[in-house]
Amino acid sequence: MRAETAPIMSAMTAGDDSTTRGHLLPGFSYFEYQRIVCRDVLIPWLEEHLSLEGLLVGDFGAHHGGMVDALREDGRVAGAIGLELSEDVVASSPFVSDESFRLERADVLAPSSDIPKFDLVVLHEVLEHIPDYEHALAAIRSLLRERGQVFISFPPYYSAFGGHQQYARGAARFTPFVHLLPARLFYRVAEPGEQEYMTAEGAHEDLVSVRRTRLTLAAAECAFARARLDVVARDLFLVRPEYTIRYGLKARGAGVLGKLPLARELGVNGAFYLLRRAG
């Protein structure tokens, strides 16, 4: 594990756009937030470990397709397809598809036969919402080309905000570890309101899916091995790089804490993995 995050931070603080200096301005759509995260966080991190030139990328759990749009704007990948489970989300997206970049409805657990094989699959904050994540990883592996790779990021469940309580309307959204309360009490104190990009009902479903999945670092790494996906690179964070965009907080690597089996599940608030097909 590398604790150094300077290349990410230098990329995020470059330029004159105030969003890249740390704050997602009020009124920004989730589509725009996705674009900024891909441009200022994911692309710089990926560049440290692989060349994007000429790749076909699949963004699984693409929501409105902002990441696909950022990849198109970057100009190096050959194409990208955003795959999103919700037909309503796809229909409401501002993304404009073309011959090489498109957004479509698809289920990662049951991908259709017309989905191509990818050089790189991206799951940014998606796997923690899939209780049957081992099935999902097997399906993803089947969609990789021979030298294909997978980028996965998620907040470990037992970390301070691993329950996605930021959806809550009241004080619970700012309360670390509140999601470790018994389910009935947690859902009561963390009742979500309308979100900028989802209904209150949809936010509640997200809370439930995260709680059902309870994805930890240890469980994820075991699942990667069972899916025959080798870890090429891993970065664990005390402060996730996305928090620079959301809240103006500087990203911080986990350092030694990321090597301590139990402590890291509580202290690591975000994990980035790059995986490739074993063998």
Helices (H) and strands (E) in the chain, counts: 11, 8
* pLDDT score, position 210: 97
Q: Can you tell me the distance from the alpha carbon of 143 to that of 98, in angstroms, rounded to the nearest whole number? A: 22
Domain spans of the chain?
6-158+214-277
Task: Tokens for 31, please give them.
Answer: 């589509």
Q: H or E stretch including 148?
A: strand 144-154
The 10 Å Cβ neighbour count of residue 99 is 6
Return contacts of 84-89, CB within 8 angstroms, 24+ apart: 85/61, 89/63, 89/64
Q: Regarding the domain delimited by 6-158+214-277, which CATH topology (the fold level of the hierarchy) does it fall under?
A: Rossmann fold (3.40.50)
Q: Can you tell me the distance from the alpha carbon of 120 to that of 275, in angstroms, rounded to the nearest whole number? A: 10
Q: Can you tell me the distance from the alpha carbon of 54 to that of 49, in angstroms, rounded to the nearest whole number? A: 15
Side chain identity at residue 261, one-letter code? P
Q: Can you tell me the distance from the alpha carbon of 266 to that of 162, in angstroms, rounded to the nearest whole number? A: 9
* pLDDT score, position 274: 98
Mean pLDDT by 10 residues, the chain (279 residues): 34 34 55 95 97 98 97 98 94 95 93 91 97 96 95 98 92 95 95 81 93 98 97 97 89 96 97 93
* pLDDT score, position 237: 98
Strand-by-strand arrangement of the 144-154 sheet: 101-105, 79-84, 56-60, 118-124, 144-154, 270-277, 229-239, 252-253
CB 25 within 8 A of CB 19: yes
* pLDDT score, position 163: 96
User: Cα 143 to the chain's mean position, in Å?
Assistant: 19
* pLDDT score, position 247: 85
From the number of C-beta atoms within 10 Å of its C-beta (0-12, 13-18, 19+), residue 136 rates as buried
